[in-house]
Structure 1
Amino acid sequence: MFLLRTPVFLLSAALGLVVADLLLPGFMIVWNDWWGFVLAIVVFAVLQSVLSPWIATMARRYAPALLGGIGIISTLVALLVVVLLPIGGLRITDAISWVLAPVVVWVITALATVLLPLLFFAKRVDDRRDRRRDGTPA
């Protein structure tokens, strides 16, 4: 299951970052440095998966009012780390983009994490359903 979730999560992170690049003028993917962008995607995805549970635990303990915004907060922290790392794939240059980028990236990654498996595995599920209907072993 981990092997199936990893590419979906990486692709959803990439989609979130690309959409933010398209929508926000101060959010820039450095396309000339494609390797830096790939590394930014991987670092962002790993940070998201590690930070979300940790921030949720801290919020539950110290600031329960923040529990509803855990995804956006962990997205902001992950973006901050990726921008500060010297990998060169991502830049955020203005305050508006710092405010809006976590929201945009979070919404797109959340939607993509739900929808991408449906797209990738829909045919497989349909095939399995057809085989069961026909009496063929799955």
Structure 2
Amino acid sequence: MITFVIRALIFLVSAFLGLVVADLLLPGFFLHWNDWWGIVLAVVIFAVLQSVLAPWLFKVARRHADAFVGGIGLLSTFVALLIAVLIPAAGIGIDGPVAWIIGTLVVWLVTALATWLLPPLFIKKKVSDRRS
């Protein structure tokens, strides 16, 4: 159970980092910083959708279009961003095709790196806590 909670927190943190980096780098990609609840909602919506869409799209692509399996992360990131933007209460906006394309790439890259680099930090702490 604790491992599940740690993984969920890592996924939420990685989603937050991805959205913030895209907000900082791209002029057409923005988070509504005056509405902190909207940002929290956008991060949660994006993280949940990403975690649900990636395995589902992988399964569909594997069955019907095996050549697209490598791009599932990008596709699920794009779809999760699209749905998060369409929800009015979420504090995220994306304007223009360049912001959509580059934003998808940035968010995907940052979340991928964060989900790869953050677990060893938490696991190392967990192991050291158990040893002491």
Q: Could you tell me which of 85, 88, 108 is aligned with 1:86?
A: 88
Offset, 1:126 = 4.7
Residue type of the alignment partner of 1:55: L
Structure 1 residues 8-23: aligned runs within 5 Å: 8-23=10-25
Instruction: Verify: 1:53 aligned to 2:55, yes or no.
Output: yes
Q: CA deviation at 1:124?
A: 3.8
Find the counterpart in structure 1 of residue 44 from structure 2: 42
Secondary structure of residue in 1 paired with 2:93: strand
Compute the TM-score of the two structures, normalised by the length of structure 1: 0.88
* Matching residue of 1:31: 33
In 1, the alpha carbon distance for the partners of 2:65 and 2:55 equals 14
Q: 1:112 aligns with which of 100, 111, 114?
A: 114
Structure 1's consecutive aligned runs of 4 or more residues displaced over 6 angstroms after TM superposition are none
The structure-2 alpha-carbon separation of the partners of 1:88 and 1:46, relative to structure 1 and needing over 3 Å to count, comes to: closer
Question: Matched residue pairs, number?
Answer: 130
Task: Give the structure-2-normalised TM-score.
Answer: 0.92
- 1:107 maps to amino acid: L
Sequence identity (%): 60
Paired with 2:103 and 2:68, the residues of 1 have a C-alpha distance of 18
Alignment gaps of 5+ in structure 2 = none
Q: Which runs of 5+ in 1 are unaligned?
A: 132-137
Q: 2:93 is matched by which residue type in structure 1?
A: R
Which residue identity is paired with 1:51?
L
Q: Which of these two proteins has the greater Rg computed from alpha carbons?
A: 1
Aligned letter for 1:24?
L
